Homo-oligomer: A and B are copies of this chain.
Protein backbone atom coordinates (compact mmCIF):
# COMPACT_ATOMS: atom_id res chain seq x y z
CA UNK A 1 0.00 0.00 0.00
CA UNK A 2 2.07 2.89 -1.24
CA UNK A 3 1.25 6.44 -0.30
CA UNK A 4 2.01 9.71 -1.96
CA UNK A 5 5.32 10.12 -0.21
CA UNK A 6 6.64 6.80 -1.37
CA UNK A 7 5.32 7.31 -4.85
CA UNK A 8 7.01 10.66 -5.17
CA UNK A 9 10.22 9.25 -3.80
CA UNK A 10 10.16 6.50 -6.40
CA UNK A 11 9.69 9.13 -9.07
CA UNK A 12 12.19 11.52 -7.59
CA UNK A 13 9.59 14.22 -7.73
CA UNK A 14 7.95 16.25 -5.02
CA UNK A 15 4.64 15.23 -3.53
CA UNK A 16 3.22 18.42 -4.87
CA UNK A 17 3.97 17.60 -8.45
CA UNK A 18 2.79 14.06 -8.17
CA UNK A 19 -0.44 15.18 -6.57
CA UNK A 20 -0.98 17.75 -9.27
CA UNK A 21 -0.22 15.29 -12.03
CA UNK A 22 -2.69 12.80 -10.68
CA UNK A 23 -5.43 15.33 -10.12
CA UNK A 24 -5.24 16.72 -13.59
CA UNK A 25 -3.87 20.17 -12.83
CA UNK A 26 -2.86 21.91 -16.06
CA UNK A 27 0.53 23.20 -15.01
CA UNK A 28 2.37 19.89 -15.10
CA UNK A 29 4.15 18.87 -18.26
CA UNK A 30 2.67 16.08 -20.30
CA UNK A 31 5.86 14.10 -19.97
CA UNK A 32 5.97 14.20 -16.20
CA UNK A 33 2.29 13.44 -16.00
CA UNK A 34 2.66 10.31 -18.07
CA UNK A 35 5.59 9.20 -15.99
CA UNK A 36 3.64 9.78 -12.79
CA UNK A 37 0.51 8.07 -13.98
CA UNK A 38 2.46 5.08 -15.17
CA UNK A 39 4.36 4.70 -11.93
CA UNK A 40 1.20 5.12 -9.90
CA UNK A 41 -0.35 2.32 -11.85
CA UNK A 42 2.69 0.13 -11.40
CA UNK A 43 2.87 0.62 -7.68
CA UNK A 44 -0.89 0.40 -7.32
CA UNK A 45 -1.13 3.76 -5.68
CA UNK A 46 -4.58 4.79 -4.46
CA UNK A 47 -4.98 8.08 -2.66
CA UNK A 48 -6.22 7.71 0.88
CA UNK A 49 -9.72 9.02 1.04
CA UNK A 50 -9.70 10.08 4.67
CA UNK A 51 -6.62 12.16 4.14
CA UNK A 52 -8.03 13.77 1.06
CA UNK A 53 -11.26 14.51 2.82
CA UNK A 54 -9.45 16.11 5.70
CA UNK A 55 -7.33 18.21 3.41
CA UNK A 56 -10.11 19.35 1.14
CA UNK A 57 -12.83 19.61 3.73
CA UNK A 58 -15.17 17.72 1.45
CA UNK A 59 -16.52 14.34 2.32
CA UNK A 60 -17.37 13.20 -1.19
CA UNK A 61 -20.53 11.59 0.02
CA UNK A 62 -24.23 12.27 -0.31
CA UNK A 63 -26.60 11.44 2.52
CA UNK A 64 -30.06 9.96 2.38
CA UNK A 65 -32.03 10.27 5.59
CA UNK A 66 -35.01 7.99 5.74
CA UNK A 67 -37.49 8.32 8.57
CA UNK A 68 -38.69 4.94 9.73
CA UNK A 69 -42.38 5.59 9.24
CA UNK A 70 -41.85 6.69 5.70
CA UNK A 71 -39.53 3.83 5.04
CA UNK A 72 -41.97 1.28 6.32
CA UNK A 73 -44.59 2.03 3.77
CA UNK A 74 -42.54 3.07 0.83
CA UNK A 75 -39.74 0.62 1.24
CA UNK A 76 -39.69 -0.79 -2.29
CA UNK A 77 -39.93 2.61 -3.85
CA UNK A 78 -37.05 3.90 -1.80
CA UNK A 79 -34.70 1.18 -2.66
CA UNK A 80 -35.42 1.56 -6.32
CA UNK A 81 -34.74 5.27 -6.04
CA UNK A 82 -31.59 4.61 -4.10
CA UNK A 83 -30.40 2.09 -6.64
CA UNK A 84 -30.67 4.71 -9.32
CA UNK A 85 -28.97 7.35 -7.25
CA UNK A 86 -26.22 4.97 -6.18
CA UNK A 87 -25.33 4.24 -9.74
CA UNK A 88 -24.79 7.91 -10.42
CA UNK A 89 -22.80 8.49 -7.26
CA UNK A 90 -20.47 5.66 -8.13
CA UNK A 91 -19.61 7.05 -11.52
CA UNK A 92 -18.89 10.45 -9.99
CA UNK A 93 -16.77 9.12 -7.16
CA UNK A 94 -19.27 9.84 -4.44
CA UNK A 95 -20.29 7.55 -1.65
CA UNK A 96 -23.87 7.16 -0.59
CA UNK A 97 -24.54 7.09 3.08
CA UNK A 98 -27.93 6.05 4.31
CA UNK A 99 -29.43 6.78 7.68
CA UNK A 100 -32.65 5.11 8.66
CA UNK A 101 -33.79 7.06 11.70
CA UNK A 102 -36.71 7.19 14.03
CA UNK A 103 -39.10 9.91 12.95
CA UNK A 104 -38.31 12.22 15.80
CA UNK A 105 -34.58 11.93 15.20
CA UNK A 106 -34.59 13.12 11.67
CA UNK A 107 -33.50 16.62 12.56
CA UNK A 108 -30.59 15.35 14.58
CA UNK A 109 -29.54 13.19 11.68
CA UNK A 110 -29.36 16.22 9.42
CA UNK A 111 -27.56 18.27 12.03
CA UNK A 112 -25.00 15.59 12.47
CA UNK A 113 -24.42 15.24 8.76
CA UNK A 114 -23.84 18.97 8.58
CA UNK A 115 -21.78 19.54 11.69
CA UNK A 116 -19.58 16.50 11.30
CA UNK A 117 -19.43 16.83 7.57
CA UNK A 118 -20.56 13.31 6.96
CA UNK A 119 -21.90 14.31 3.58
CA UNK A 120 -21.59 17.28 1.26
CA UNK A 121 -25.29 17.25 0.50
CA UNK A 122 -28.46 15.30 1.08
CA UNK A 123 -31.56 14.11 -0.67
CA UNK A 124 -34.77 15.07 1.07
CA UNK A 125 -37.12 12.09 0.90
CA UNK A 126 -40.85 11.88 1.19
CA UNK A 127 -41.89 15.53 1.47
CA UNK A 128 -44.95 16.07 3.60
CA UNK A 129 -47.60 18.71 3.77
CA UNK A 130 -46.25 21.71 5.66
CA UNK A 131 -42.81 20.23 5.56
CA UNK A 132 -40.26 22.40 7.33
CA UNK A 133 -37.20 20.33 6.74
CA UNK A 134 -35.96 22.57 3.98
CA UNK A 135 -35.76 25.43 6.44
CA UNK A 136 -33.56 23.38 8.69
CA UNK A 137 -31.31 22.36 5.82
CA UNK A 138 -31.00 25.93 4.59
CA UNK A 139 -30.10 27.00 8.08
CA UNK A 140 -27.51 24.24 8.32
CA UNK A 141 -26.11 25.28 4.97
CA UNK A 142 -26.48 21.74 3.71
CA UNK A 143 -27.22 21.56 -0.02
CA UNK A 144 -30.16 19.33 -0.85
CA UNK A 145 -32.48 18.14 -3.56
CA UNK A 146 -36.05 17.15 -2.81
CA UNK A 147 -37.38 13.92 -4.21
CA UNK A 148 -40.92 15.13 -4.75
CA UNK A 149 -41.92 18.66 -4.03
CA UNK A 150 -42.71 20.81 -1.06
CA UNK A 151 -45.84 22.73 -1.89
CA UNK A 152 -45.22 26.39 -1.32
CA UNK A 153 -41.44 26.04 -1.45
CA UNK A 154 -41.08 25.15 -5.10
CA UNK A 155 -39.09 28.29 -5.82
CA UNK A 156 -36.86 27.99 -2.83
CA UNK A 157 -35.68 24.43 -3.32
CA UNK A 158 -34.27 22.14 -5.98
CA UNK A 159 -36.48 19.19 -6.71
CA UNK A 160 -37.36 16.40 -9.05
CA UNK A 161 -40.90 15.21 -9.16
CA UNK A 162 -43.44 13.38 -11.24
CA UNK A 163 -46.36 15.45 -12.39
CA UNK A 164 -48.69 13.58 -10.09
CA UNK A 165 -51.60 15.92 -10.52
CA UNK A 166 -51.56 15.60 -14.26
CA UNK A 167 -51.07 11.84 -14.21
CA UNK A 168 -54.10 11.32 -12.04
CA UNK A 169 -56.11 13.80 -13.99
CA UNK A 170 -55.39 11.95 -17.21
CA UNK A 171 -56.15 8.60 -15.65
CA UNK A 172 -59.46 9.91 -14.35
CA UNK A 173 -60.27 11.34 -17.75
CA UNK A 174 -59.65 7.97 -19.33
CA UNK A 175 -62.09 6.33 -16.94
CA UNK A 176 -64.67 9.01 -17.54
CA UNK A 177 -64.27 8.59 -21.28
CA UNK A 178 -64.98 4.91 -20.80
CA UNK A 179 -68.28 5.89 -19.27
CA UNK A 180 -67.42 5.51 -15.60
CA UNK A 181 -69.20 7.90 -13.28
CA UNK A 182 -68.46 6.45 -9.87
CA UNK A 183 -64.70 6.31 -9.61
CA UNK A 184 -63.05 5.48 -6.31
CA UNK A 185 -59.68 6.91 -5.29
CA UNK A 186 -57.50 4.60 -3.23
CA UNK A 187 -54.85 7.10 -2.31
CA UNK A 188 -51.69 7.02 -0.25
CA UNK A 189 -51.46 8.86 3.06
CA UNK A 190 -52.56 12.39 2.40
CA UNK A 191 -50.03 13.77 4.82
CA UNK A 192 -47.63 13.20 1.96
CA UNK A 193 -47.33 15.95 -0.56
CA UNK A 194 -47.64 13.73 -3.61
CA UNK A 195 -50.87 12.14 -2.37
CA UNK A 196 -52.58 15.50 -2.16
CA UNK A 197 -51.50 16.33 -5.68
CA UNK A 198 -52.93 13.11 -6.91
CA UNK A 199 -56.27 13.79 -5.29
CA UNK A 200 -56.30 17.24 -6.81
CA UNK A 201 -55.81 15.79 -10.28
CA UNK A 202 -58.59 13.30 -9.69
CA UNK A 203 -61.02 15.93 -8.43
CA UNK A 204 -60.14 18.34 -11.19
CA UNK A 205 -61.00 15.79 -13.86
CA UNK A 206 -64.28 14.87 -12.21
CA UNK A 207 -65.36 18.46 -11.88
CA UNK A 208 -64.36 19.27 -15.43
CA UNK A 209 -66.89 16.66 -16.49
CA UNK A 210 -69.58 17.83 -14.15
CA UNK A 211 -69.10 14.96 -11.72
CA UNK A 212 -69.18 15.83 -8.05
CA UNK A 213 -66.32 14.28 -6.04
CA UNK A 214 -67.80 11.96 -3.45
CA UNK A 215 -65.94 11.72 -0.15
CA UNK A 216 -67.31 8.24 0.37
CA UNK A 217 -65.35 7.09 -2.68
CA UNK A 218 -62.03 8.45 -1.48
CA UNK A 219 -59.69 6.86 0.98
CA UNK A 220 -56.20 7.59 2.15
CA UNK A 221 -53.82 5.30 4.03
CA UNK A 222 -50.50 3.51 3.90
CA UNK A 223 -50.28 1.73 0.60
CA UNK A 224 -50.31 -1.90 1.64
CA UNK A 225 -51.89 -4.83 -0.12
CA UNK A 226 -54.60 -5.46 2.49
CA UNK A 227 -55.54 -1.79 2.45
CA UNK A 228 -56.37 -2.14 -1.24
CA UNK A 229 -58.31 -5.35 -0.77
CA UNK A 230 -60.32 -4.20 2.23
CA UNK A 231 -61.21 -0.86 0.79
CA UNK A 232 -62.27 -2.38 -2.51
CA UNK A 233 -64.49 -4.90 -0.77
CA UNK A 234 -66.03 -2.30 1.50
CA UNK A 235 -66.84 -0.01 -1.41
CA UNK A 236 -68.08 -2.74 -3.73
CA UNK A 237 -70.49 -3.89 -1.05
CA UNK A 238 -71.75 -0.40 -0.32
CA UNK A 239 -75.06 1.11 -1.42
CA UNK A 240 -73.62 2.79 -4.46
CA UNK A 241 -70.52 0.87 -5.47
CA UNK A 242 -67.92 2.38 -7.79
CA UNK A 243 -67.38 0.94 -11.24
CA UNK A 244 -63.74 1.95 -11.33
CA UNK A 245 -60.78 2.38 -9.02
CA UNK A 246 -57.87 4.73 -9.25
CA UNK A 247 -55.05 3.41 -7.07
CA UNK A 248 -51.86 5.04 -5.86
CA UNK A 249 -49.53 2.05 -5.95
CA UNK A 250 -49.09 -1.33 -7.54
CA UNK A 251 -49.04 -3.00 -4.16
CA UNK A 252 -52.45 -1.68 -3.22
CA UNK A 253 -53.71 -2.29 -6.74
CA UNK A 254 -52.90 -5.95 -6.35
CA UNK A 255 -55.01 -5.84 -3.20
CA UNK A 256 -57.81 -4.12 -5.04
CA UNK A 257 -57.70 -6.81 -7.69
CA UNK A 258 -57.93 -9.44 -5.01
CA UNK A 259 -60.87 -7.64 -3.41
CA UNK A 260 -62.67 -7.42 -6.72
CA UNK A 261 -62.31 -11.09 -7.42
CA UNK A 262 -63.35 -11.97 -3.86
CA UNK A 263 -66.56 -10.10 -4.62
CA UNK A 264 -67.07 -12.34 -7.62
CA UNK A 265 -66.43 -9.55 -10.10
CA UNK A 266 -64.10 -9.50 -13.08
CA UNK A 267 -61.42 -6.87 -13.34
CA UNK A 268 -61.43 -5.01 -16.64
CA UNK A 269 -65.03 -6.13 -17.29
CA UNK A 270 -67.21 -5.47 -14.29
CA UNK A 271 -64.79 -3.13 -12.61
CA UNK A 272 -61.93 -1.09 -14.02
CA UNK A 273 -58.67 -0.30 -12.27
CA UNK A 274 -55.91 2.15 -13.02
CA UNK A 275 -52.86 2.26 -10.81
CA UNK A 276 -49.75 4.32 -10.55
CA UNK A 277 -46.75 2.18 -11.43
CA UNK A 278 -43.29 3.14 -10.21
CA UNK A 279 -41.74 0.56 -12.50
CA UNK A 280 -40.32 -1.58 -9.74
CA UNK A 281 -38.30 -4.47 -11.03
CA UNK A 282 -39.94 -7.09 -8.88
CA UNK A 283 -43.44 -5.97 -9.81
CA UNK A 284 -43.23 -5.91 -13.57
CA UNK A 285 -46.36 -4.66 -15.22
CA UNK A 286 -45.16 -4.83 -18.76
CA UNK A 287 -45.48 -7.25 -21.63
CA UNK A 288 -47.66 -6.89 -24.72
CA UNK A 289 -50.65 -5.80 -22.72
CA UNK A 290 -49.77 -5.03 -19.12
CA UNK A 291 -52.00 -6.47 -16.44
CA UNK A 292 -52.83 -3.06 -15.07
CA UNK A 293 -53.64 0.04 -16.98
CA UNK A 294 -51.35 2.52 -15.29
CA UNK A 295 -49.66 5.85 -15.05
CA UNK A 296 -46.02 4.91 -15.12
CA UNK A 297 -42.91 6.76 -14.08
CA UNK A 298 -39.60 5.14 -13.30
CA UNK A 299 -38.57 5.96 -9.78
CA UNK A 300 -35.13 4.61 -10.55
CA UNK A 301 -34.71 7.24 -13.21
CA UNK A 302 -35.77 9.84 -10.69
CA UNK A 303 -32.99 8.58 -8.45
CA UNK A 304 -30.45 8.90 -11.22
CA UNK A 305 -31.46 12.45 -11.97
CA UNK A 306 -31.71 13.47 -8.33
CA UNK A 307 -28.16 12.29 -7.80
CA UNK A 308 -26.94 14.25 -10.79
CA UNK A 309 -28.67 17.32 -9.47
CA UNK A 310 -27.25 17.14 -5.98
CA UNK A 311 -23.74 16.50 -7.26
CA UNK A 312 -23.95 19.51 -9.49
CA UNK A 313 -25.31 21.56 -6.65
CA UNK A 314 -22.56 20.51 -4.30
CA UNK A 315 -19.92 21.39 -6.85
CA UNK A 316 -21.19 24.74 -7.91
CA UNK A 317 -21.30 27.92 -6.03
CA UNK A 318 -24.33 29.12 -7.95
CA UNK A 319 -27.35 29.74 -5.81
CA UNK A 320 -30.02 29.01 -8.39
CA UNK A 321 -32.30 26.11 -7.92
CA UNK A 322 -32.97 23.42 -10.46
CA UNK A 323 -36.20 21.60 -11.11
CA UNK A 324 -37.17 18.59 -13.07
CA UNK A 325 -40.75 17.73 -13.69
CA UNK A 326 -41.30 14.27 -15.09
CA UNK A 327 -44.44 13.32 -16.96
CA UNK A 328 -45.88 9.89 -16.28
CA UNK A 329 -46.89 7.75 -19.22
CA UNK A 330 -50.48 6.59 -19.40
CA UNK A 331 -50.33 2.97 -20.45
CA UNK A 332 -53.29 0.88 -21.44
CA UNK A 333 -53.49 -2.57 -19.91
CA UNK A 334 -56.04 -5.28 -19.25
CA UNK A 335 -57.65 -3.75 -16.23
CA UNK A 336 -59.83 -1.15 -17.86
CA UNK A 337 -62.93 -1.36 -20.00
CA UNK A 338 -66.17 0.46 -20.65
CA UNK A 339 -68.44 1.03 -17.71
CA UNK A 340 -70.96 -1.80 -17.44
Contacts and interface: CB of A to CB of B under 8 A. Distances in A.
A164 B62 CA distance: 37
Interface stretch (A10-18, A46-54, A172-180, A323-331): A46-54
A141 B49 CA distance: 18
A79 to B, nearest CB: 4
Contacts of A284: 224-226
Interface of A: 1, 44, 46-51, 53-54, 59, 61, 66, 68, 71-76, 78-80, 82-83, 86-87, 90, 95-101, 112, 115-118, 222-226, 251, 254, 257-258, 261, 280-284, 287, 291
Nearest to A45: B115
Nearest to A85: B100
B117 A72 contact: no
Contacts of A258: 254, 257-258, 261
A151 to B, nearest CB: 25
B46 A115 contact: yes
Given A75-B280, A79-B71, A283-B251, A50 B54 contact: yes
A112 B49 CA distance: 11
B86 A79 contact: no
The number of times this chain is found in the oligomer is: 2
A73 B251 contact: no
A281 B254 CA distance: 16
A282 B78 CA distance: 12
Nearest to A303: B100
Contact of A117 (B50, B78, B223, B251): B50
Contacts of A68: 83
A46 B113 CA distance: 11
Contacts of A101: 90
Contact of A116 (B49, B59, B66, B282): B49
A100 B82 contact: yes
A281 B98 CA distance: 19
A308 B100 CA distance: 16
A101 B46 CA distance: 20
Contacts of A254: 225, 254, 258
Nearest to A111: B46
A112 B89 CA distance: 14
A258 B74 CA distance: 23
A224 to B, nearest CB: 5
A73 B283 CA distance: 9
Given A54-B54, A83-B68, A283 B225 contact: yes
A265 B45 CA distance: 65
Contacts of A66: 83
A97 B95 contact: yes
Contact of A90 (B54, B80, B99, B280): B99
B116 A46 contact: yes
Query: Interface centre among A50, A74, A96, A97, by most B CB within 10 Å?
Result: A50
